[in-house]
Every structure is written in C-alpha cells, then in structure tokens.
Structure 1
Amino acid sequence: MSLAIKAFVAPLIVACAMFMESVDANVIVTAIPEMARAFGRDPVTLKIAVTSYVLGLGVFIPICGWVADRFGARTIFRLAIGIFVAGSILCAASTSLIPFTLARFVQGVGGAMMVPVGRIIIFRSVPRSEFIRAMNYLSVPAMFGPAVGPLLGGFITTYLHWRLIFFINIPIGILGIYLTNRYIGNAREAHPGPLDWVGFFLSASGGTLFLLGLSLIGGELVTDRTAAGMALAGVLFLVVYFLHSRRVKLPLLDLRFLRVPTFQASVVGGSLFRIGLGAVPFLLPLAMQEGLGMSAFKSGSITCASAFGGMFMRSLASRVLHRYGFRQTLMVNAALSGIAIAACGMFYPGTPTWIIWSVVLLGGFFPALQFTSLNSLTYAEIESRDVGRATSLGSFIQQVSLGLGVTVGGIALQISHDLQGHPQMVWSDFWPAFVVVGLFSFLSIPITARLGRDAGHEISRGTRG
C-alpha cells in the first residue's frame, strides 16, 4: 500500500471505531427511562449500568499499551472491536438489570482497548509528515459522537425499540474487523518489558469495588450495608496499591507524576471538574423525560445542544489560552462551567424549549474550553519517555472520576427525591442534584490556583486561532 493511501485508510478505520464507541457512550443515556421500565426498576438505579461501562474503560486502559506491544496492535485492535460488538449483542439480549450491567462492562473493556490502541496504530503506520492530518481525522468522532448519540438514541427509543440501539454497532464492527485485517499491519515491540500484574489487580479491584459500591447505595440490587462494604473494600485495595506503587520500579500507575504541578492541576483538578460534568449526561435526559414529560426523541434533540456548544468553543479555545494563559482560563472557566451545569436544574414544566436549548448549549460551551485546556496542560512538564506511563495514570483517574460523577449525581437525586417525599420523580427533585454536581467545578479552582501564572506558557504562547 502506498504511503498516501496508508495515511488515509488507517486513521479512517480507527476513527470509525472511535465513532462507534463515542456514539454508544452517548446513545444509552437518552434511553435510560425506557430501559428502566423494561427492567422494572427505578430510573436512578440504572446509574449502575452507566458506571459499569466507565469502569470497563478505566480499569483496562492502563494495560492497553503493554498488551498491544506484546501481542501486536492489529491483533488487539481487532479483538477490541470484537469484544465491543459482543458486549452490544449482550446488551440487546438482556432482560434484567444485572446482565445488562455486566454487558455494559464488557463493552467498556472493548472500548478501553479501541481508543489507545487505535492511536498506537496511527503513530506506527502513518508517516510523520502526515501525522497531524491523521490526528485531525480522530477529532471527528469526539466532536460528532456526542451530537449524533442523543438524537439517534432518542429517535430509536421513541419510534422503534431501545434494544435496536445496540444493533447499530454490529455492521460497523464487522466492517472494522475486515478493514483492520486487510489494511493494518501487526506492529509490535520485540521486548515490551514486564507488566505490573500485582498493581493491575489491586488498582482494578479497588476502582471497581469502590465505584460499584457507591453506585449500589440507595438502589434495589443489594442492601446499603453491602454496598458500603464494597466501597470500603475498594478503598482498602487502593490504599494497598499506593503502598505497592512505592516499592516497585515501574508501577502500573505511577503516582509520582502527581508531584508535577501542571500534571496535578490537569489530572486532580480536572477530575474534580469531571465529577460534576460526568453527572450531566445522566441527569439531563432524566430531568427532561421524567421531570418535564418529554419524549426520548425531544430530550435527545435538546441534549445534543451541548455538543454543538463544544464544537463552537473548540474553534476559540486556542485564542483564549493564548490571551489569558492556563491558570486564569481554568479558574474563571471552572466557575462559569459550574454555573452552567447548575442552571440545568432550573427547568420546570412550561419552560420554553428555546431557553432549555440555550442553557444546555452553554453547558457544552464552557466545559469544552475546560477540557481543551486541561488536556493541553497535561504533558507540559512530562518528559517524552514518560508520556505513556503518565497517560495510564491520567486515564485511570479521569475515567474513575467520570463514573463517580454519575454516582454522585444519582445519589444527590435520590436524596432530594426522598426528602421531598414525592411518590414519583418530578421536576423539583432535580435542581438540588444539578447544584451539587455544579459545585464540583468550583472545587477544582483551589487546585488550579496553585499553578504559577506562567504555567504551560510555552504551550499557550504557541496556540493561535
């Protein structure tokens, strides 16, 4: 295959797989109320299904680079697509919440391997002269997945059946496997080195038990005492991992990177921000369908406004960073993002659709700038040789924080509902939950404030609109 064709085909294959994963992550939230009725559960209980998917991503992302080096990027990428499609089929076939939750976890495992291994494929197969163009192809799924997902999920749920949502992935996945076999080489490292299997077990067990335990509190699957015990066990596993990571030379998740100021601000401060934002895709469709009585399709047509707000902000982000720098941008924008998230709780029956759409648009506008800034700042002080290990740590913490956001939002909504004593979920139950998750954006400000005024200056100075 010529270099020109390779520079186009490999990124296109990876972009299609990432688009499938991005759409799937956004399509389910619009269908949650209908799924809850099909499973005979309260809609808030289905937060466990959203959390399990994020867990699959977070737990397996740290080992993807090593696995790709050991067995070959093409082999793992092809396997990832197969696992994701298998998880989709299991989701469609699920008749109750427990198997559906397990199927979502399987999907998350496949998604965890698709994205980072796909980037490795591009890095190794595309000529350096075509690298920027190839990476631009990968920005398309990130932009359009959140816009297409709610619309597609809402349409299928309203006019067809929610199970059909998961069948969309089957033809895309089969085509992806075929094209991967034909056009992508199986590059691998001759000596990838040892993997910290003990660290993987401890971190995976800790993250899984902690998040699942919190997600099950106030639900209908286990007692609150059992759920709290799971969460506590998860914390103990994570503490043991912390002690383990200090004794090994190359831990799976190297916590020493958190001493780097810009990395700390990006990962720790950014994760507090992600807790707040991670709850919104779960809470917003519920608020519009259960609280305002909208159909899934109308809800999805409004929810996608946040994606359009994000697209517009991405075109301005470089100019904002160039003018104001990272520290000021992150602090001010975190406050604006928190207000925009909390404002989603002000909707009541009869609120004009254009007002709801505008608020949701702003709810995507400000967070997009925050994500762009945080992602750009992550590697400002990280050496090239450490990028892979820093990415593993950052990805794990970020995914756990997104799952924690869904859990926190669900718990806040359940508490609000119980305190107000409504027999069914109503619109007034939602505003306290949106205020709580909006406050997490403000909690990130003290961490960002520790940055020097010129933090990331070389990066922000180099950005141009």
Structure 2
Amino acid sequence: MNSPDLPASRLILWLVAFGFFMQTLDATIVNTALPAMAESLGESPLRMQSVVIAYALTMAMAIPASGWLADRFGTRRVFTTALALFVAGSLACALSHNLGQLVASRVLQGLGGAMLLPVGRLAVLKSFPREHFLKAMSFVAVPGLIGPLIGPTLGGWLVEAASWHWIFLINVPVGLLGCALSLRYMADWRSAALPPFDFTGFGLLAFGMVTLSLALDGLAGVGLGRAPVLVLLVFGLANLAAYWIHATRHPRPLFSPQLFHTNSFSVGLLGNLFARIGSGAMPYLIPLLLQLAMGYSPARAGMMMLPVAASAILSKRLAPTLIQRFGYRRVLVGNTALLGMAMAAFSLLAPAQPLWLHVLLLGFFGAVNSIQFTAMNTVTLKDLGSEQASAGNGLLSMVQMLSMSLGVSVAGALLAVFTERLDVDAHGRLAAFHATYLCVGAITVASAWIFWQLAPDADRAASADKQKLADLE
C-alpha cells in the first residue's frame, strides 16, 4: 500500500467512489418518487417528508462516530459493514408496506450511508502519499457529482417503467458486489493508540438533533399535537445546551468548543446550518411542485432536475475566482442573497409559462447554490490548524446533513400550513407552494447577515489548496 500505482490501491479508489456514488444517489433518487410512494402506501404526498428526513438525520447522527469506529475496528470491517447495512436497508425499503416501515428502513440505510464516505476517505488518506492525496480525492469526488445529476431522473424513470420499489432494489446486487470486493481489496487500517470515545457527548448531540427534527416534523402534521411539539423542542434545545456544557468540561470532547474561537469557523458553520435549510428544502419541494401542482409526470419532473445538477457542476470552479477577486464576506453575503431570491422566484412559476423559462430558473438556482456550497465549505475550514481540521471537518459534515433534514422539515411544515389554508382546488395548491417558496427564500436571505459577521481580514485570506480541498467535500 505504499504506492498509489498498485492495483490494490486503485481498487480502493473505485470502492470508495462507488460507496460515495450510492450514498449521494440515494439522497436524491427518492424525491421524485415521493408522490408514487404515497399513493402506493395510502398516504398524502405532503406527509412523505419523513422518508427524506429519516435518511439525512440518521447520517447526521452517525457521522461523528464513523472515524472512531474505523480506528477501533479497522477500515475494511467498518466499510464492508456500512455497505451491508446500506444493502439491508435498501431491501427493507423495497419490502415496506406502510410509511412507518419505510421510515425505519431508511434509518437503517442511513446508518450504512453515514459511514461510507468518512471511512472511505480515511482509507484513501492512509493508502496514498500526501502528494497524491488531492488527485485521489478528486477521483472519489466525481461520483458524488454524478449521483445528484442522475438521481431524480432515474427515480422518475423507474417509477414509470416499473415501480418505486426499484429505486431501492437496484442497490442490492451492486451493493453485494461491493461487499465482496471490499472484503478482498479494502485496506485494513486501524489506530494503535485509540482515545476513548465521548459516548455522553454523542448521546446528547444525537438526542438533541432527533428531538428538534421530530418537533419540526410534528408541525408538518404527523399526528403530534402542539403540546408534544413544544416538549420535543424544549428537550432538543436542552440537550444541545447540555452538550455545550459537557464539552467545556470533558478532556476529549466529540467537538471541542475551542473550534468556535476561530471566527471564520464559527461564522461559516452557523451560516452553513441556516443557509442550507433552504438548499435542503429545494430538492424536496421542486419535484412535488412539478408533479402535484403543475401536472408533470414523475419522469418529466426528474428530467427537470437536470439543469440544476448540470449548472452546479459547470459553475463549481467559479467560486475560487470570485473569492480571490471580491473576498469571502462579499461573495457569501451577495451570493446568499441571490440564492434566497432564486428560491423565492419559484413562487412565480405557473403551468402556462414556456418551458425555457422554467429551465432557466432551475439552472440559475443550481449555479448560485453550487457557488454557495463551495464558498461556505472553504471559509469554514480554511483557518483551522492541523490539530483541529479533522474535528472541524467532522462537525461540518454533521451540520450539512442536519441542515438537509431541517430544510425538509421546515418545508414540510410550511407546506402543510399553507395547504390547509389554501388548498381547496388546483389553484390553491399552487398558491400553497408559492407561499412556501417565498418563506424558504426569506429564510435564506436572512442568513446572509451571519456571513456579514466574518472578520474583514478573512476576505483576502483565501488559500488555493484549501479551496480545492473544500470543492471535494
């Protein structure tokens, strides 16, 4: 394993890239199929957000433990177990007969998906010399761009050509092949001196995230009354506060409060959390709008997501150029405002409008969203020292998945409220979506004030190497 030219090392790259592809594909393939799944399970399409939330929230919970598990049990065993859990969860999803079973199966799938990229990245880091690591990670990152590109389209096509069950069944044979190859070729790295894991901090964080998400999901009409929602909200906030106190006293906390002594990290992390609420809501809202309010078929709705993914890929390299010219603060404040206005502009869509107008708006949203992600990732990590980089990156990854879950919860809650008040006919349903897009856009625009808190000297502190690494996240 000393040379990246060895066949085994190349196979490790393919295995990690394959796992990343499965993870990102399943994060997007479900969105287009939600109405068909709702019809099959006898549920309202506007109550299916828990299928998306369960996957993203489970990943957010499990990511902090993935590195420690790999160090404790070895990258080969943990990566293979992650693939096996992902396959088992996929099969359970396909065999689900009601919404509760499907959500539980998505939790199992999310447990596997949460470990695929962090453990795979660790295997690549230890298998390749430092001078080859960036090139290796560039290779691994490509499937992460392809997954969201084809996921919605593939999901819509499978719903029409076969049934929604096949969006999960296609994972089974390829996942089993991945397990076999992983057992044979994956590197088996582990740590000789492993520090104890902060189980108390992990439990406080996990319980806080789950209860907050359940509280927001309760607002979307999953059968919880106002009192249980309020109790869950208080419990969630109390657990997050308890973690902060615990972390200040623990000798080796899961995430040290000292990370937040760095201005760019604290501002970038909070900006990620709130700005990504809107970005997490859009992949859920757009297919629903197209199918439920504008009469698109699942396949056509999936095709309409192609401009978003394609423009995101094409514009990804614009961010470093913009940052070098204008600085982090100006780029993030201005682009966040543009992103929120792009989301709000979806409130102007109507079935009678020309197709090119819809494609143009989708493409513009994809471009500014991609620039936002790259700039936010870079500013969050760029000033951390080498001893803090691993923990900072882990916390950022957790916040990214948490904000995706919160975005879908917020969108579902808003859509449920507006639908109850406006959805008396097709025109009322479209108006409910329009009102939801306006609110999501307003939340995103408001998060621009967080990025305004960046220190002025952060504007010119860009590092080209760190920008490239952030592009790979």
The TM-score bracket by the shorter chain reads over 0.9
- Letter of the structure 2 residue corresponding to residue 175 of structure 1: L
> Is the 8 Å Cα contact of residues 270 and 444 (structure 1) preserved in structure 2?
no
Per the alignment, residue 439 of structure 2 pairs with 436
Given candidates 334, 337, 346, the residue that maps to 2:336 is 334
Per the alignment, residue 32 of structure 2 pairs with 30
Return 5+ residue gaps in structure 2 as ranges.
none
SS at match of 2:343: helix
Displacement of 1:419 in angstroms is 2.0
Per the alignment, residue 321 of structure 2 pairs with 319
- Letter of the structure 1 residue corresponding to residue 204 of structure 2: L
Report the TM-score when normalising by structure 2: 0.94
Q: Deviations over 1:328-363 (max 9, x none)?
A: 111111111111111122211222222111111111
SS at match of 1:459: coil
Per the alignment, residue 240 of structure 2 pairs with 238
> Is the 8 Å Cα contact of residues 62 and 252 (structure 1) preserved in structure 2?
yes
**Residues in 1 aligned to 2:121 and 2:276: alpha-carbon distance in whole angstroms:** 23
Worse-superposed segment, 318-327 or 64-73: 318-327
Worse-superposed segment, 224-233 or 162-171: 224-233
Q: Deviations over 1:220-245 (max 9, x none)?
A: 44444334333332222222222212
Following superposition, which runs of at least 4 residues in structure 1 exceed 3 angstroms of deviation?
Answer: 220-225, 460-465
Per the alignment, residue 163 of structure 2 pairs with 161
**Residues in 2 aligned to 1:204 and 1:137: alpha-carbon distance in whole angstroms:** 32
- Letter of the structure 1 residue corresponding to residue 416 of structure 2: Q
Matches within 5 A, 1:287-302: 287-302=289-304
**Residues in 2 aligned to 1:96 and 1:380: alpha-carbon distance in whole angstroms:** 45
Per the alignment, residue 452 of structure 2 pairs with 449
Given candidates 114, 121, 146, the residue that maps to 2:123 is 121
Displacement of 1:460 in angstroms is 4.7
Per the alignment, residue 182 of structure 2 pairs with 180
**Residues in 2 aligned to 1:305 and 1:421: alpha-carbon distance in whole angstroms:** 29
**Residues in 2 aligned to 1:48 and 1:229: alpha-carbon distance in whole angstroms:** 19
Per the alignment, residue 102 of structure 1 pairs with 104
SS at match of 1:288: helix
Worse-superposed segment, 1-10 or 102-111: 1-10
Q: Deviations over 1:89-112 (max 9, x none)?
A: 111111111111111111111111
Per the alignment, residue 203 of structure 1 pairs with 205
Worse-superposed segment, 65-74 or 423-432: 423-432
Given candidates 140, 143, 150, the residue that maps to 1:141 is 143
Displacement of 1:461 in angstroms is 6.1
**Residues in 1 aligned to 2:206 and 2:20: alpha-carbon distance in whole angstroms:** 23
Per the alignment, residue 51 of structure 1 pairs with 53
Per the alignment, residue 278 of structure 1 pairs with 280
- Letter of the structure 2 residue corresponding to residue 93 of structure 1: L
Q: For the structure 1 residues 417 and 3, does the alpha-carbon distance in structure 2 shift closer, same or farther, using more than 3 Å as the test?
A: closer
Displacement of 1:216 in angstroms is 2.5
Per the alignment, residue 376 of structure 1 pairs with 378
> Is the 8 Å Cα contact of residues 32 and 46 (structure 1) preserved in structure 2?
yes
SS at match of 1:382: coil
Displacement of 1:58 in angstroms is 0.5
Q: How many residues align?
A: 465
> Is the 8 Å Cα contact of residues 308 and 363 (structure 2) preserved in structure 1?
yes
> Is the 8 Å Cα contact of residues 217 and 228 (structure 1) preserved in structure 2?
no
SS at match of 2:458: coil
Q: Deviations over 1:145-182 (max 9, x none)?
A: 11110010010112210001101111221121122122
- Letter of the structure 1 residue corresponding to residue 406 of structure 2: L
Displacement of 1:458 in angstroms is 3.8
> Is the 8 Å Cα contact of residues 73 and 187 (structure 1) preserved in structure 2?
yes
Per the alignment, residue 395 of structure 2 pairs with 393
What is the aligned-residue identity percentage? Answer: 33
Q: For the structure 1 residues 300 and 370, does the alpha-carbon distance in structure 2 shift closer, same or farther, using more than 3 Å as the test?
A: same
Worse-superposed segment, 264-273 or 449-458: 449-458
Return 5+ residue gaps in structure 1 as ranges.
none
**Residues in 2 aligned to 1:229 and 1:423: alpha-carbon distance in whole angstroms:** 35
**Residues in 1 aligned to 2:162 and 2:416: alpha-carbon distance in whole angstroms:** 30
**Residues in 1 aligned to 2:129 and 2:183: alpha-carbon distance in whole angstroms:** 20
> Is the 8 Å Cα contact of residues 254 and 393 (structure 1) preserved in structure 2?
no
**Residues in 2 aligned to 1:182 and 1:220: alpha-carbon distance in whole angstroms:** 45
**Residues in 1 aligned to 2:358 and 2:177: alpha-carbon distance in whole angstroms:** 39
> Is the 8 Å Cα contact of residues 320 and 464 (structure 2) preserved in structure 1?
no
Report the TM-score when normalising by structure 1: 0.96
**Residues in 2 aligned to 1:129 and 1:443: alpha-carbon distance in whole angstroms:** 41
**Residues in 1 aligned to 2:67 and 2:35: alpha-carbon distance in whole angstroms:** 37
- Letter of the structure 2 residue corresponding to residue 28 of structure 1: V
